Amino acid sequence: MQSYKAPLMDIKFLFNDVFDYYGHYQKYPEFEDATPDLVDAIFVECAKFCENELLPLNQTGDKEGCTFDNGKVITPKGFKEAYNLYVEGGWQSLSHPIEHGGQGMPPSLGMAKAEMMGTANWSWAMYPGLSHGAMNTVQSHGTKAQKELYLTKLTEGTWTGTMCLTEPQCGTDLGQVKTKAEPNGDGTYNISGTKIFISAGEHDLTDNIIHIVLARLPGAPKGTRGISLFIVPKMQVDQSGNIGEFNNVSCGSIEDKMGIKASATAVLNFDNAKGVLIGPENKGLECMFTFMNTARVGTALQGVCASELAYQNSLLYAKERLSMRSLTGKKCPDKVADPIIVHPDVRKMLMTQKAFSEGGRAMIYYTAKLVDDIEMAKNEDERKAADDRLGFITPILKAFLTEVGTESANHGLQIFGGHGYIKEWGMEQIVRDVRISTLYEGTTGIQALDLLGRKILLTHGRSLKDFTKEVLLFCKDKSMLSKNPHKRQMNKFIWPLSKGVANWQQYSIRLALKAKKNRDVVGSASVDYLMYSGYIVMAYFWAQMAQSAYEKLAGDVENRDFYRSKIKTAEFYFDRILPRTKSLAATMMADPKTLMQLDEELLSFL
Amino acid sequence: MQSYKAPLMDIKFLFNDVFDYYGHYQKYPEFEDATPDLVDAIFVECAKFCENELLPLNQTGDKEGCTFDNGKVITPKGFKEAYNLYVEGGWQSLSHPIEHGGQGMPPSLGMAKAEMMGTANWSWAMYPGLSHGAMNTVQSHGTKAQKELYLTKLTEGTWTGTMCLTEPQCGTDLGQVKTKAEPNGDGTYNISGTKIFISAGEHDLTDNIIHIVLARLPGAPKGTRGISLFIVPKMQVDQSGNIGEFNNVSCGSIEDKMGIKASATAVLNFDNAKGVLIGPENKGLECMFTFMNTARVGTALQGVCASELAYQNSLLYAKERLSMRSLTGKKCPDKVADPIIVHPDVRKMLMTQKAFSEGGRAMIYYTAKLVDDIEMAKNEDERKAADDRLGFITPILKAFLTEVGTESANHGLQIFGGHGYIKEWGMEQIVRDVRISTLYEGTTGIQALDLLGRKILLTHGRSLKDFTKEVLLFCKDKSMLSKNPHKRQMNKFIWPLSKGVANWQQYSIRLALKAKKNRDVVGSASVDYLMYSGYIVMAYFWAQMAQSAYEKLAGDVENRDFYRSKIKTAEFYFDRILPRTKSLAATMMADPKTLMQLDEELLSFL
């Protein structure tokens, strides 16, 4: 019963008008093929694949789930066929380097593809999606031989890959990793240990799975400084890439989860499985962190996907379901009642979903440009500038967009009333599926510590200063004092945005000073601070979209309603969503005392 | 893996110290048996039943769900045995009138029982719980014969009852009800139609089910003024209460739902089922509304139950799970890492759960006294005063407590990290189960319209004035100008509470004025207004609990830490939760324009 149409007009608006993506692509000769015509054609084909092949498997996949049978995992009906189509269509290789079988399209294009796939069927999209982590690892840290052996197959999609980090005793705190790697003396290692929560850790879509595994070498230092990375295939592979013996990576079970049921979450037992070291000894975590940001932005996307799918479906329902009359008088006197979209509270939920979907999409596509810049940078300064920006904005995207995406999914369920709670309609699935997004790839709490602790305090606010400089420059450029022809209309956005940014800077400084006296200030303020930052950042993108829309409307453009809708949604965002910062400002500045003063034993008297 | 201990110390604190329940019971000779000794003994026994019989069935019931087999519904393993124990123990009849087989204990005591049952196993508790609606209907509107025939069996628990309101085309908008009632000329009616979402509509716990059905008589006026109430048993019943023929009430299917899977949600087809009219013709909705408030308070309780269960379990986990080190230095240097409870963000989630569980409990137990007062009132003035207060506070309790209960359940899942997403731990079940609570018995949006539209605007703010008068009297009594021996300590609560109440009054007046010009102001502000009200109301109860705790600590009391914990949780509430009103104040006062200005067609461009 779920329906989905890829929001191509919105994606093109971001590509063409808001972020000048084609100007951006032209900076890099590698991307000369990424012309508007080709990109548009890719979008259209991708939309078809997602709407026609992936969406129909979303609810059936949830219902059927994965089956575990004596170490084997059977994915839901249709998953393998869709995967084959995906590989045949060259989708997996789209935005990977040509030298290993990729098509050399920009990574940012991969993000648009990921959005459509993830909205149509997040669980399915995780199988090819997880490969990107493994591919990035091999690409960045692998030897030439490792790249030739593994990267090509991963790029084609012949094999998939995983990231094996978590163990039963540790997820966030990877310093506790126990999995061992014993050298065999021939350049290979015997890997032994148990990894849990391994997405796509076992499945029937491909003949082999390449695991990237965190493990400890003998005598390695304790904690995070003694962890190395290994490539451990499920099936052994000879030098030519032929599959050999089983490599003792066995799937002990798959998890019975709240959602993303069609995505297999495996317990993997490594029992003297043969692996090779990738990257330097004991530098496994550093190596992983080089593309942690990209993985996290990929998870942030799940929030946008859930919001979009929930929005599309609840909008259709709100136009059809008849209940009560508008308080301002009958809107459909010929019907037994008015459609619920006439009720302001339903409209509020819909507008909130719209604001989060489109605002979140803008935040993602802005960030995707940074990923292009990092990969293509011609010198270290350029690379570092883009990397710093990415590192700053990533925790905001990951935590904020998954939190508001979860909210949006819940609005969708709520708009359906009791029917939202019934599986048939597919709305409760969206809520269950998206609920994982604030947990994996670092919980909201971890993202918040990363933002406030590492990205703000540790850099003495440098990244924040750089970013707010960009925002304030935009404000100045569009303000009443500028030559912006739309400055009068933009004033309603520029003023609160400037004020919000100024407060953001102020609060950051005040928190930094407080944190010097009491380190618990960081953890006590961090999540509220992150959400505060998220609302300000999203306001910046809504202001940019409004400006672009005014510019389009000033010309002789088609689809004028589209741009009007943008502006009015921006107004809604500034009026109804941005004021959430008021409460967050109050709570993040509150003394940690009231949080921490209660002894553990005093929390319960049972 | 879920654990639960009934929070008896907290319940007794409310009964003895905060609300002086025994003084309240002494007002009514009918309640002379409700002495502290007896009530405490009932609490202890009830706690045992819930902890030992109901809790173990909570996760198994979720996993197994109800089975539908050719019209029959089989409840999960153990449900029937637990129900028999419940009936044998006299629990169903506890707080019902003696004349129909009840034990005559106060309704408020039934609320405490319902809390423990509902926390241990909400799905199970719905079977006996739904009976109360049917019992109240027969009690209030039935003839003597109807009471003798149906009420006695329902009170014993020999049969259960349901409320059959919703139909496929309408839930909220009951004016659209189509089910027909054709008179047979002998005082009976043939009822035909389809009812959906009927909780406990079919099951195997009892031999008969008594349905209270909304239907239309021939020629009845359209809309809500043409609906009558009927008693329609699943099996026909003779004058002596013996079960006869099947009465053509067939269960067409049960819903596959997000949660409360062990509670059967039935589609019921009435095919010339025999029924009798209860209450006056065409006054069905009015009759139902007489106890709508009690039913809604019973649903509000689900928020508290979910919050409590989530809190208890996440607190245990947070003390055990080791991850990372406290930013203020190692707390458990002998362990591989510190327990996550040392992290301020985890602590914040726990404190939020604690504040909502205990604050919500206080709101419920305050309200339960009003229900006693209504049932026992010696004159119409007293009854009306209690009924007005109940009518005012009910939508706040229903919507606010289910919303914050859902939040609390989600914090529980979040504290468990990835493990919270796995069924085994039982945390995701709490999230799924509680998610229905903001939908049934009137969605949050409907409660909000009831509060702002009917209870505030229609009464010109009378009920609000009455309630705020009570709060301001409390503030005055405990203020720095009073003789309250704890006034210095209480000042930190009294000042923000008084200010909050003053703002609440101000905003209400301003909204009333705005609504005169534009009726969409009501729906546009209502949900934020309701949540705003909820936070203020809960602050009042936290202030009362703090005052009571200070009073206890001034004496020579045991368990001093319990009272200290109360005060510190009150401080947390005022510091970290109450400031949420700031954003709500801004958004509820925003112009409806930004919500409503966008034409329906401009909401999407797909």
- Number of residues assigned to chain B: 606
What H or E segment, with its residue span, contains residue A74? strand A72-74
To the nearest whole number, what is the mean pLDDT of chain B?
A: 97
Catalytic residues of B: 441
Q: What is the amino acid identity at position B110?
A: G
Q: Which residue has the tokens 């409320």?
A: B163
Q: Where are the alpha helices (DSSP H) in B396-451?
A: 402-415, 427-434, 444-449
Q: Is the pLDDT of residue B289 over 90?
A: no
What pLDDT is attached to residue B290?
78
CB pairs under 8 A between A and B: 288
B430 contacts B486 by C-beta, under 8 angstroms: no
Helix, strand, coil in percent for chain B, rounding step 5: 60, 15, 25
Upper half-sphere CA count for residue A146 (Cβ side, 13 Å):
23
B308 contacts B120 by C-beta, under 8 angstroms: no
- Distance between CA atoms of A238 and B330, rounded to whole angstroms? 48
Q: C-alpha A86: how far from its chain's center?
A: 21
Pairing between β-strand A188-199 and β-strand A228-233 as defined by DSSP bridges: unpaired
> What are the structural domains, with CATH classification, of chain B?
8-289 (2.40.110.20), 292-442 (1.20.140.10), 458-593 (no CATH)
Query: Collapsing DSSP states into helix, strand and coil, what is residue A528?
Result: helix
For residue B467, name the pLDDT band (cuts at 50, 70, 90): very high
Nearest to B229 by CA among B185, B320, B164: B164
Q: What is the pLDDT of residues B218-238, one digit of tens each?
A: 999 999 999 999 999 999 999
Among the partner residues B9, B322, B602, nearest to A561 by beta-carbon distance: B602
What pLDDT is attached to residue A241?
93
Q: C-alpha A463: how far from its chain's center?
A: 21
Q: Is the pLDDT of residue A27 over 90?
A: yes
Q: Tell me which long-range contacts A217-220 makes (C-beta under 8 A, separation of at least 24).
A: A217/A181, A217/A183, A217/A189, A217/A281, A217/A282, A218/A180, A218/A182, A218/A183, A220/A281, A220/A282
- Distance between CA atoms of B364 and B19, rounded to whole angstroms? 11
B259 with A602: Cβ contact below 8 A: no
B602 with A347: Cβ contact below 8 A: no
Nearest to A172 by CA among B193, B102, B519, B419: B419
Residues of B in contact with A120 (CB under 8 A): none
- Distance between CA atoms of A37 and B570, rounded to whole angstroms? 62
A5 with B606: Cβ contact below 8 A: yes
Q: Where are the alpha helices (DSSP H) in A458-519?
A: 462-478, 487-517
Which ipTM value was assigned to this complex? 0.97
Query: Collapsing DSSP states into helix, strand and coil, what is residue A470?
Result: helix
What pLDDT is attached to residue A289?
83
Nearest to A263 by CA among A196, A198, A195: A198
- Number of residues assigned to chain A: 606
What pLDDT is attached to residue A172?
92
Q: What is the pLDDT of residues B152-180, one digit of tens each?
A: 999 999 999 999 999 999 999 999 999 99
Is residue A558 part of the annotated active site? The answer reads: no
Upper half-sphere CA count for residue A241 (Cβ side, 13 Å):
12
Which of A53, A308, A407, A441 is the catalytic position?
A441
Q: Is the pLDDT of residue B25 over 90?
A: yes
State what percent of residues in chain A have pLDDT above 90. 99
Q: What is the amino acid identity at position B269?
A: N
Residues of B in contact with A545 (CB under 8 A): none
A381: buried, middle or exposed (CB in 10 Å: 19+, 13-18, 0-12)? exposed
CA of B410, closest CA in chain A: separation in Å?
A: 9
Q: What is the pLDDT of residues B93-108, one digit of tens each?
A: 999 999 999 999 999 9
- Distance between CA atoms of B50 and B148, rounded to whole angstroms? 30
What pLDDT is attached to residue B551?
98
In sequence order, the 6+-apart residues with CB closer than 8 A to the CB of A268 are A164, A194, A195, A196, A198, A201, A202, A211, A249, A250, A251, A252
Beta strands in B5-159 (DSSP E): 67-69, 72-74
Among the partner residues A519, A559, A571, nearest to B327 by beta-carbon distance: A519
For residue A536, name the pLDDT band (cuts at 50, 70, 90): very high
A568 with B597: Cβ contact below 8 A: yes
Q: Is the pLDDT of residue B150 over 90?
A: yes
Please give the DSSP secondary-structure letter assigned to residue A31.
Answer: G
Residues of B in contact with A568 (CB under 8 A): 594, 597-598, 602
Residues of A in contact with B591 (CB under 8 A): 575
For residue B358, name the pLDDT band (cuts at 50, 70, 90): very high
Q: Give the lowest-confidence range in A337-341, B134-138, B286-290, B485-489.
A: B286-290
What pLDDT is attached to residue A26?
96
Residues of B in contact with A605 (CB under 8 A): 7, 9-10, 559, 561-562, 565
- Tell me how crowded residue A342 is: count the other CB atoms within 10 A of its CB: 26
Best of B323, B559, B577 to mutate (most A CBs within 10 Å, chain A): B323
User: CA-CA-CA-CA torsion for B22, B25, B26, B27, nearest 10 degrees?
Assistant: 130
What pLDDT is attached to residue A312?
98
Residues A230-248 have a mean pLDDT of: 96
In sequence order, the 6+-apart residues with CB closer than 8 A to the CB of A12 are A40, A43
- Distance between CA atoms of A479 and B233, rounded to whole angstroms? 71
Query: Collapsing DSSP states into helix, strand and coil, what is residue B94?
Result: coil
B304 contacts B364 by C-beta, under 8 angstroms: yes
Nearest to B30 by CA among B383, B375, B290, B369: B375
What DSSP string describes B122-162? HHHHHHHHHHHHHHHHHHHH--HHHIIIIIHHHHHTSSEEE
Backbone φ/ψ region at B241: left (φ over 0), alpha (ψ -120 to 50), beta:
left
What pLDDT is attached to residue A290?
78
A345 with B580: Cβ contact below 8 A: no
Q: What is the pLDDT of residues A79-108, one digit of tens each?
A: 999 999 999 999 999 999 999 999 999 999
Tokens standing for residue B218: 């021939």
> Across-strand partners of A170?
A167
